Amino acid sequence: MQDTGIFSFYNAKLSQADFERLSRFIFDQSGIKLPQVKLIMLQSRLQKRLRDLSMTTFKEYVDYVFSPEGLENEIVHMLDVVSTNKTDFYREPVHFDFLNNVALPEFYENGKNLNNFLVWSAGCSSGEEPYTIAFTLSEFREKFPAFNYNIIATDISAQILNKAKLAVYKEDLISSVPFFIKKKYILKSKDRNNKTIRINKELRDKVNFFRFNFMETTYNLPHMFDVIFCRNVLIYFTRETQEQVLIKLCSKLKPGGYLFIGHSESILGMELPILQIKPTVYKRI
């Protein structure tokens, strides 16, 4: 008897030919490389799209993706489920220590435009990184009231950006946040059966979220940045794509500005206008 209903979605199998077609397309659109070992992962993650579209086979889905309607409407949804969104508050804390103890005092002492310190959280995922940056910058501003800042936070996933804008998280996700930061900037849900928190409005207003694809030919953001965080994003790209992305990121970094990358990432051998200050910390020259 032929399967019907929800079970047919779960039984759908992604063929080798369809996997290769989709993986090439995903790479062209986003720079994300999907080697053969990712076939089952891609099949699993795209099951949701089959259910949402009431499709029972991957062939039907792949044909839709490459149709005029799919090319217009489906790419964003597909990249939402394909992109990996793993992050934490104060992830790789050495970067926030450097920002607080080196970059910010240096910026302040040089007397640069104190009212317009700009940070780009590139690949911000669900928002923990830009809000941790906001904690750090807000604390610095308390000591130096003339200082002001804004944060641009971008990601390729429209779905995860909606979560980041909302700024609501499970309470257990803030275990790494210092107590004094929690008291000042984090609100607890009054419903103790629903243990969630929310970043307060003052900090939410300092972060501007929008969708951005690293595969853009040029990075036409209307700003130059004092600091760029691009951490644990490059690992999903080929070496050639990594260098292309970093060249364009550096084009948006002010001379003397800082770039932070993830601890599992390396730029060794790349021709870039930056100088290594510490492991994973670079300065625009």
Q: Model confidence over 239-258: pLDDT tens digits?
A: 999 999 999 999 999 999 99
Q: 248 and 167, same structural domain? A: yes
Looking up residue 36, the CATH number of its domain turns out to be: 1.10.155.10
Q: Is 167 found in the same domain as 121?
A: yes
Q: Which of 40, 56, 82 is the last residue of a domain?
A: 82
Distance of CA 142 to the CA centre of its chain: 28
Residues 135 and 190 in one domain: yes
Query: pLDDT value at position 112?
Result: 67
Number of other residues whose CB lies within 10 A of the CB of residue 240: 9
Identify whether residues 77 and 98 lie together within a single domain: no
- One domain, residues 125 and 242: yes
Contacts of 130 (CB under 8 A, 6+ apart): 119, 121, 124, 151, 153, 164, 207, 209
Check whether residue 102 and residue 169 sit in a common domain: yes
Q: Is 225 exposed, middle or buried (0-12, 13-18, 19+ CB in 10 A)?
A: buried
**Tens digits of residue pLDDT in 172-206:** 999 999 999 999 999 999 887 889 999 999 999 99
Residues 77 and 103 in one domain: no
Query: Contact 85/128 with Cβ under 8 angstroms?
Result: no
Average pLDDT of the residues in 256-282: 95
Q: How would you classify residue 136: left for phi > 0, otherwise alpha for psi between -120 and 50, otherwise beta? A: alpha
87 within domain boundaries: no
pLDDT in tens, 110-158: 876 678 899 999 999 999 999 999 999 999 999 999 899 999 999 988 8
- Residue 137 has a pLDDT of 97
Query: Taking 50 as the threshold, does the pLDDT of residue 10 lie above it?
Result: yes
Same domain membership, residue 132 and residue 75 = no
Threshold 0.85, pTM exceeds: no
Question: Residue 54 sits in which domain range?
Answer: 6-82
Q: Is residue 1 part of a domain?
A: no
Is residue 89 assigned to a domain? no
